[in-house]
Chains A and B, each alone.
Chain A
Amino acid sequence: MSMQMRTFILGMIGVPALLALVFLTVYGEQAGAIIARILPRVPMLLTGSADFSSLEGGFVANILISLWSMAIAIVTGAMLGTGLIARSAFVRLPSSLVMNLLRNSPWLVVLFAMLYLLPFEIEIFGFTVSLSPAVKAVIGLALPVTANIAEIFRGGVQAIPSGQWESASSLGYRRLQILRHVVIPQALPLMVPNLMTMYSMLFIGTSLVVVTGANDVLSVARTIIAVDGDAVATAIYIFVLLLFFLFCFPIAILTRRLEHRVGTSHP
């Protein structure tokens, strides 16, 4: 059994066991009763609906928001990253300014800013698009992630030896062609582990979107606590922690596997 497989199994058993221990310590002999009270709330926490009838809220919303943010940030991050390595200072310096601003902004601050900066709805080519809290959350999270991905992109591109640029230039390739046909295909495998780590951080960051009023898992949790009373609060939050762990930990293990492979493989 590989090293990572062992870590994986150990974590998947050990961490839930640890959370269970905390739960038992907190609730003592009430534990059974509390479980009976929160069990019916699980569908709500997972999907935002009491009977799995829709898949729009709760933990599913966190997953959807993270996927949309990541998809957008990969595109915008690659663009900003291309700006970071541009030859012209007119492109490079503004890109670097934007990147540094976004990368050093606390995510929660960016989310709050989006809440007030973005209008309720916008008009694009005559279409009225309403900016729901979830959309604002997606944009707000995509901004700092864009900056981080731009840095990952720049690092990946710069890890490719300059001889590749030189030989491609001598074959008549232009700068953007070199990036597209020669450098990025080689840099991508180097970038994937970093992108996955970024995604994990983004996913954990989706817990912040509770401030936008999106129907995410924390919003649902708070509503449940408001209805069922503070007695269930700790139990609910322990359950939410477990959900985040079960989602992020496999990604972390996969990332480590890939890092290992990138380090040793040949094309």
Chain B
Amino acid sequence: MTTTSTTKPLIEMRDVRKSFGTYDVLNGIALDVREGGVVCIIGPSGSGKSTILRCINGLIPVNSGTIRVGDFAVEAMKTDRELIALRHQVAMVFQQYNLFPHRTVMQNLTMAPIQVLKENPADVRERALKLLAKVRLTGKEDAYPSQLSGGQQQRVAIARALAMQPRVILFDEVTAALDPEMVSEVLNVIRDLAGEGMTCVLVTHEMRFAQEVADEVFFTDRGVIVERGPPKQLFQSPNDPRLKDFLDKVL
């Protein structure tokens, strides 16, 4: 996907600004993701990567700029109903898994589709079983999150996101809290999803993985996109000195 595409992107952020009090976190972010694309966001800690993801699914309101996801103008969304319709399309997976500890694995997957989307419970459960198989956790339906390893919990979280049947999934450093030996089992699941054409936006410190799966990589620093491009170009011949500096540190 290096040539110009005629279809408009699924996600489009234009000049997005966000501050917490007097502290400017995002200073004019522009970013786009085509349907089926895999985009990685890299950058130093505190540069605003998580904030970008939270803005895309409307978890936090922006100060100015526009965010379009499909047909939704996220920055203009006010009512709960609009936000729910958006979150039906945009799922998110967190660094700390954030599974519901008082519910079983199965319930974690089926709760929101049944309670929020009002889907038929039997259909949802059938879908959940398939998703558990997909993340290689068949047999864990009745386990509670605390009985699972970190890598297993994160895979449940990915299955929970998929159970919403979203058009795009946002991953926020989903392997950062994991023990090293569990990182690959989670990355394998994400690799499968990317291969199946699921649109993914990944904030990650796994540079090698980014290089492997991403169509495009965005480097953020202090709330702006400093450099963007195909992974090969970005990693092997970076232009901006800040990116060079960052790559020197992490690679």
Interface residues of A, Cβ cutoff 8 Å to B: 161, 163-164, 166-174, 177, 181-182, 185-186, 266-267
Are B59's CB and A170's CB within 8 A?
Answer: yes
- Contact pick for A181, options B101, B115, B117, CB 8 Å: B115
Q: Is the interface of A mostly helix, strand, loop or mixed?
A: helix
Are A172's CB and B101's CB within 8 A?
Answer: no
Number of interface residues of B (CB under 8 A): 27
Q: Which of B57, B80, B91, B146 has the most CB of A within 10 A?
A: B80
* A contact residues around B157 at 8 Å (CB): 167
- Closest Cβ of chain A: how far from B121's Cβ, in Å? 15
Q: Which of A167, A169, A186, A266 has the most CB of B within 10 A?
A: A167
Beta-carbon nearest neighbor of B157 in chain A: A167
- Contact pick for A172, options B94, B100, B102, B117, CB 8 Å: B117
Are B59's CB and A166's CB within 8 A?
Answer: yes
Are B59's CB and A173's CB within 8 A?
Answer: no
Are B112's CB and A186's CB within 8 A?
Answer: no
Beta-carbon nearest neighbor of B164 in chain A: A171
A174 to B112, CA, bound (A): 11
Are A267's CB and B144's CB within 8 A?
Answer: yes
Are B146's CB and A266's CB within 8 A?
Answer: yes
Q: Is B88 an interface residue (CB 8 A)?
A: yes
Q: Is B133 an interface residue (CB 8 A)?
A: no
Are A186's CB and B101's CB within 8 A?
Answer: yes
A169 to B80, CA, bound (A): 10
- Contact pick for B116, options A161, A164, A171, A185, CB 8 Å: A171
Are B87's CB and A169's CB within 8 A?
Answer: yes
Beta-carbon nearest neighbor of B57 in chain A: A170
- Closest Cβ of chain A: how far from B176's Cβ, in Å? 14
Are B146's CB and A267's CB within 8 A?
Answer: yes
* A contact residues around B94 at 8 Å (CB): 163, 166-167
A170 to B99, CA, bound (A): 12
Q: A177-B115, A267-B146 are in contact. Are A172 and B98 (CB under 8 A)?
A: no
What are 23 A-B contacts defined by CB distance under 8 Å? A161-B98, A163-B96, A167-B92, A167-B98, A167-B157, A169-B59, A170-B90, A170-B92, A171-B111, A171-B164, A172-B84, A172-B88, A172-B112, A172-B116, A174-B84, A181-B111, A181-B115, A182-B100, A185-B102, A186-B100, A186-B101, A186-B102, A266-B144
A224 to B116, CA, bound (A): 62
- Contact pick for A174, options B59, B80, B100, CB 8 Å: B80
A146 to B41, CA, bound (A): 49
Knowing that A170-B90, A173-B116 touch, tell me 6 more A-B residue pairs with CB under 8 angstroms. A161-B98, A164-B100, A166-B94, A167-B100, A172-B116, A177-B115
* B contact residues around A266 at 8 Å (CB): 144, 146
Are B84's CB and A170's CB within 8 A?
Answer: no
Beta-carbon nearest neighbor of B99 in chain A: A167
Which residues B67-97 have CB closer than 8 A to chain A? 80, 83-84, 87-88, 90-92, 94, 96
